[in-house]
Chain A
């Protein structure tokens, strides 16, 4: 067997230049029964690594961890269930609010005050001529009022605009 290659691998192993595959090869090599005398001093080092790899946990460990981990599953489910039903509660609340508001509106006294129901209006005059005179006199009053305020407004603007005109008005 060609030990040159193994020697070279060992040298590179100490220099940390071997790949994982090459290191596996070294481990395999030192598992053999017959190893040349000049390499045997390294046997234990490589066998040690091989042995340490077999170290395992006690068998009941899986059950212990799963028992601890599976408890939170139930907890998590409960939270998600509450979250799932949340939108339904929200929707129900919105419907309840709308219904109670509508109910309140229908029964409130404010609604009656502002009720403009033109069908329920009744005539106040029997003779159309009297009604016409009444409305025209009322409109006349309104128009006079408007004109009066207009004149006042005009003099106001005159007064405010120029001091010269102000004097003129006073005279």
Chain B
């Protein structure tokens, strides 16, 4: 159902010639935020990037009608900004504080210490991956995007998306199982 719904709405908007910033673009903010956060690993920085992304999209109002997908377009801008900023940070030799404890804990209903610890380990493994693998896995496993969409967002081939995803999943699985079996 979801598959048919998306192209239909897209078609509808194009027919009606109206994309609303409030209703169609602003709701992408959390998706953009999660991607920016995954790349920069800095919450404040990620919020700032999302804001800049949205303002840039707003300024390109005239182009909205000609875009295949405004969501892919937004995610591309967001990723490029995130990469730029994290490169700048690296150049300044700023060490990221992996202060990620406050991120997803509020939604954690299981609530056990052990569970939190495990989530923390996986998050660290995930965030240690190269940027491309991280972005691909973020978009696939967390945002549930198709290979085609991810290829469009990252401007690479679908084959490369698959290769990066394969390596990312394999890396995390292997390292996680090693930690589980032998401890840190």
Give the contacting residue for A45; candidates B50, B55, B172; CB below 8 A.
Answer: B172
In the complex, which range does the number of interface residues on chain A fall in? 20 to 34
Mark the stretch among A58-66, A108-116, A119-127, A154-162 that contacts chain B: A58-66
B84: CB under 8 A from chain A? no
Given contacts A51-B104, A69-B21, contact A56 B33 (CB under 8 A): yes
Give the contacting residue for B119; candidates A15, A51, A62, A66; CB below 8 A.
Answer: A51
In the complex, which range does the number of interface residues on chain B fall in? 35 or more
* Cβ of A159 to closest chain B Cβ, rounded Å: 80
**Chain B residues whose CB sits within 8 angstroms of the CB of A163 once the complex forms:** none
Find out whether the CB atom of A41 lies under 8 angstroms from the CB atom of B107. no
Given contacts A57-B29, A58-B47, A65-B26, contact A51 B108 (CB under 8 A): yes
A99: CB under 8 A from chain B? no
Closest to A26 in B: B141
Closest to A10 in B: B173
Given contacts A48-B119, A65-B51, A69-B21, contact A41 B144 (CB under 8 A): no
Find out whether the CB atom of A51 lies under 8 angstroms from the CB atom of B30. no
> What are the interface flags for A65-90 relative to B under an 8 Å C-beta threshold, 1 for contact and 0 otherwise?
11011001000000000000000000
Closest to B145 in A: A20
Complex formed: what's the CA distance from A163 to B54 in Å?
Answer: 95
* Cβ of A112 to closest chain B Cβ, rounded Å: 59
Given contacts A44-B176, A54-B107, A64-B51, contact A69 B162 (CB under 8 A): no
Q: Which of B147-184 contact A (CB under 8 A)?
A: 162, 165-166, 169-170, 172-173, 176-177, 180
Give the contacting residue for A16; candidates B29, B119, B122, B165; CB below 8 A.
Answer: B165
* Cβ of A59 to closest chain B Cβ, rounded Å: 11
Find out whether the CB atom of A47 lies under 8 angstroms from the CB atom of B119. yes
Complex formed: what's the CA distance from A45 to B176 in Å?
Answer: 9
Give the contacting residue for A66; candidates B22, B59, B115; CB below 8 A.
Answer: B22
Find out whether the CB atom of B144 lies under 8 angstroms from the CB atom of A20. yes
Find out whether the CB atom of A48 lies under 8 angstroms from the CB atom of B122. yes
Query: Which of B47, B54, B141, B162 has the most C-beta atoms of chain A within 10 angstroms of its own C-beta?
Result: B141
A52: CB under 8 A from chain B? yes
Which chain A residues have a beta carbon within 8 Å of chain B's beta carbons? 13-16, 20, 23-24, 41-42, 44-45, 47-49, 51-58, 61-62, 64-66, 68-69, 72
Which chain B residues have a beta carbon within 8 Å of chain A's beta carbons? 21-22, 26, 29-30, 33-34, 37, 47, 50-51, 54-55, 58-59, 103-104, 107-108, 110, 115, 118-119, 122-123, 126, 140-144, 146, 162, 165-166, 169-170, 172-173, 176-177, 180
